[in-house]
Structure formats: C-alpha cells, structure tokens
Copies of this chain bind each other. A is one copy, B any other.
Amino acid sequence: MKPHVRQTEPFRWEGIPVSGYKPSGTHFSGITRQLVFEGGSGLACELRYFEIEPGGYSSLERHRHAHAIMVIRGTGGVLVGDRVVQLATHDLVRVPPLTWHQFRANDGVPLGFLCMVDCQRDVPERPDDAALTRLRADPSIAAFIRT
C-alpha cells in the first residue's frame, strides 16, 4: 500500500476494490466490503469499511474475536448481545467475544462503518434453531433480526 491513499469519491478509495461482504450466502443483504488497511508489517489488526444499503443487513453471527466499530456514514441499528440500539454517525460499537451481533441500515439511509479486527481470528458461527429461539424470546430482538 502507498503511504497516502486518497478518497476518490465519498467512501471509496484509490486502488481499494469494493468487494462482496462474504464469498457466498443468503444470510446477509446489500452489503459491501473494502479493506482499507491490511494487517502485517507492524500491524496485528486490519481495518475494513462495510457499507450496508438502505434495508440491508449483515449476517447474524458470533465469534471469539472482538469487533471495534465506528459508524462513519449514515445511521442504522445493531443487535449486540441482548440489546438492539440505534446508531448515529460517529457512534462506537464494541462487540465482545462470543456475542451475537447483526447490523442493519435503516430505510432510506445507508449505514457505513469502520471495523477493526485482529488479523488472526476465528471463523464466525451462525445461530442454530435453539439459539434463534433464545434470541427471539425478546420481542425487540425478534423484530430486529434477519436470517
């Protein structure tokens, strides 16, 4: 990577491709991924920029690694553990290890956020039927999650 990488249009950067969120799947919708900083060469973490289009959502998942997130575009909502919260631009979200989480853009507004993660990390787990039943016991979570 060059020392200086310009933003070429809003939330797009010179030489950084806009790629799919995950290689495949039907458990997410309308979300793109840009790797703004690779790890290695003195960095144990990487920084990604995800953008969810209005009405879209990330996958409902959990894993042993943590997420450190800053919203930098738009607004949306997130499930973290047992709470659904509304997010404004520049709000922070910390997803602790083994905590169910899912991000959603609101209708009419994209949700764009930076997400810092360890380079060395485990593969996400999706909820089985028993986990979904436990999550849906809370009506606000039942109304929020998309699978």
A: which residues have CB within 8 A of B? 1-7, 10-11, 13, 36-37, 41-45, 47, 64-66, 68, 70, 72, 78, 80-81, 83, 85, 87-97, 99, 114, 116-120
The answer on a CB contact under 8 Å between A7 and B43 is: no
User: Which residue of chain B is the closest to A10 with respect to CB atoms?
Assistant: B90
- Report whether A37 and B4 are in contact in the complex, using a CB–CB cutoff of 8 Å: no
Once the chains bind, are A80 and B3 in contact (CB under 8 Å)? Answer: yes
Assembled-state Cα–Cα distance A96/B2 (Å): 10
Q: How far is the CB of A63 from chain B (nearest CB, A)?
A: 9
Are the CB atoms of B97 and A42 closer together than 8 Å? yes
User: A136: shortest Cβ distance to chain B, in Å?
Assistant: 20
* Contacts known (A37-B68, A37-B116, A70-B36); A91 close to B4, Cβ less than 8 A: yes
Contact B44 A45 (CB under 8 A): yes
A3 CB contacts on chain B under 8 angstroms: 80-81, 83, 85, 93-96, 99
Instruction: List 6 contacting pairs A-B, 8 Å CB cutoff, sorted by A.
Output: A5-B93, A7-B88, A37-B92, A41-B66, A42-B96, A44-B44
Instruction: Across the A-B interface, give the 6 residue pairs with the lowest CB-CB distance, nearest first.
Output: A42-B66, A45-B45, A44-B44, A7-B90, A37-B68, A5-B92
CB-nearest residue of chain B to A7: B90
